Amino acid sequence: MKYVYSFGEGKAEGDSKRKDLLGGKGAGLAEMTSLGLPVPPGFTISTEACTVFSQTRKMPAELGPAVDEALARLEKNVGMRFGDPSAPLLVSVRSGARASMPGMMDTILNLGLNEKTCEGLAKRTNNPRFALDAYRRFIAMYSDVALGVKRDNFEHALDEARARVAKAKGIDGTRLNGEELRRKVTDADITEDELRNVVVAFKKIVKEKTGKDFPEDPKEQLWGAIGAVFESWNNHRAIVYRRMHDIPDSWGTACNVQAMVFGNMGDTSATGVAFTRDPSTGERLLYGEWLPNAQGEDVVAGIRTPLPILAANVKPGHTDSLEQKMPEAFKTLVSIGQKLEKHFRDMQDLEFTIQDGKLYMLQCRNAKRTGKAAVRVAVEMVKEGLIDKEEAVLRVDPASLDQLLHPTLDPTAPKTLLAKGLSASPGAAQGKIVFSADEAEKRANAGEAVILVRVETSPEDIHGMKAARGILTARGGMTSHAAVVARGMGKPCVAGCSALAVNYQEQTVIVTQYDEGGRPQGSVTLKRGDVITIDGGAGHVYQGAVPTVNASLTGEFSELMAWADEARKMKVRANADTPLDARTARGFGAEGIGLCRTEHMFFDEERIRAMREMILADDVAAREKALAKILPHQRQDFVEIFREMKGFPVTIRLLDPPLHEFLPTEKAHIEELAKLMNVSVARLEQRIKDLHEFNPMLGHRGCRLAITYPEIYAMQVRAILEAAAAVTAEGNSVTPEIMIPLAMTREELVRMRQIVDKVSAEVSAKGTPVSFAFGTMIELPRAAVRANELAEVAEFFSFGTNDLTQCTMGLSRDDAGKFLPAYVEGGILPKDPFVSIDIDGVGSLVKVAVERGRATKSNIKLGVCGEHGGDPESVKFFHGAGLDYVSCSPFRVTIARLAAAQAEVAAKKGRAGSTTA
Ligand code: ADP
Ligand code: MG
Ligand code: MG
Q: What is the pLDDT of residues 795-832, one digit of tens each?
A: 999 999 999 999 999 999 888 888 988 898 888 998 89
92 Cβ inside 6 Å of ligand 1: yes
pLDDT tens by residue, 456-477: 888 778 889 989 999 999 987 7
SS3 384: coil
Cβ neighbors of 844 (< 8 A, separation 6 or more) are: none
Report the alpha-carbon distance of residue 561 to residue 779 in Å, rounded: 32
Going by alpha carbons, the residue nearest to atom 17 of ligand 1 is 296
Residue type, 499: A
The pLDDT score that the predictor gives to residue 916 is 37
Residue with the larger pLDDT of the pair 298 and 743: 743
In terms of Cα–Cα distance, which of 24, 61, 67 is closest to 43? Answer: 67
Beta strands per DSSP E along 779-846? 796-799
Q: Are 112 and 83 in contact, with CB atoms under 8 Å apart?
A: yes
pLDDT tens by residue, 618-647: 889 989 999 999 999 999 999 999 999 999
The pLDDT score that the predictor gives to residue 554 is 64
The pLDDT score that the predictor gives to residue 842 is 98
28 Cβ inside 6 Å of ligand 1: no
Work out the percent of the chain whose per-residue pLDDT is above 90: 68
94 Cβ inside 6 Å of ligand 1: yes
Q: How far apart are the first and last CA of the chain?
A: 30
Report the alpha-carbon distance of residue 97 to residue 479 in Å, rounded: 33
The pLDDT score that the predictor gives to residue 917 is 35
Work out the percent of the chain whose per-residue pLDDT is above 70: 97
Indicate if the pLDDT at residue 914 is higher than 60. Answer: no
Beta strands per DSSP E along 708-822? 735-740, 773-778, 796-799
Report the alpha-carbon distance of residue 632 to residue 715 in Å, rounded: 10
Report the alpha-carbon distance of residue 710 to residue 304 in Å, rounded: 76
CA 280 to chain centre: 16
Residue with the larger pLDDT of the pair 704 and 496: 704
Ligand nearest to the CA of 595: 3
pLDDT tens by residue, 830-845: 889 999 999 999 999 9
Residue 135's pLDDT band, with cuts at 50, 70 and 90, is very high
Indicate if the pLDDT at residue 34 is higher than 90. Answer: yes
pTM of the model: 0.81
103 Cβ inside 6 Å of ligand 1: yes
Marked catalytic residue, from 481, 540, 660, 879: 481
Ligand 1 centroid to Cα of residue 226, in Å, is 15
Among the ranges given (95-99, 139-143, 541-545, 771-775), the one the predictor scored with the smallest mean pLDDT: 95-99
Mean pLDDT of 603-620: 84
Q: Are 26 and 15 in contact, with CB atoms under 8 Å apart?
A: no
Probe target for ligand 1 pocket from 93, 261, 351, with the most ligand atoms within 8 Å of CB: 351
CA 148 to chain centre: 34
pLDDT tens by residue, 305-324: 678 999 988 877 788 999 99
Indicate if the pLDDT at residue 488 is higher than 70. Answer: no
Ligand 1 centroid to Cα of residue 258, in Å, is 9
260 Cβ inside 6 Å of ligand 1: yes
Among the ranges given (188-202, 351-365, 413-427, 567-581), the one the predictor scored with the smallest mean pLDDT: 413-427
Q: What is the mean pLDDT of the chain?
A: 91
The pLDDT score that the predictor gives to residue 745 is 98
The pLDDT score that the predictor gives to residue 549 is 79
Residue with the larger pLDDT of the pair 235 and 551: 235
The pLDDT score that the predictor gives to residue 502 is 94
Indicate if the pLDDT at residue 244 is higher than 80. Answer: no
Atom number, ligand 1, closest to the C-alpha of residue 352: 16
Q: Are 313 and 321 in contact, with CB atoms under 8 Å apart?
A: yes
296 Cβ inside 6 Å of ligand 1: yes
Indicate if the pLDDT at residue 517 is higher than 70. Answer: no
The pLDDT score that the predictor gives to residue 784 is 98
Ligand nearest to the CA of 137: 1
Ligand nearest to the CA of 807: 3
Marked catalytic residue, from 50, 493, 865, 888: 865
In terms of Cα–Cα distance, which of 708, 702, 704, 398 is closest to 561? Answer: 398
Q: Is 888 a catalytic residue?
A: no
Among the ranges given (68-72, 248-252, 294-298, 615-619), the one the predictor scored with the smallest mean pLDDT: 294-298
40 Cβ inside 6 Å of ligand 1: yes
Enumerate the β-bridge partners of residue 777. Answer: 798
Mean pLDDT of 860-889: 96
CA 556 to chain centre: 22
Residue with the larger pLDDT of the pair 549 and 713: 713
Q: Is 865 a catalytic residue?
A: yes
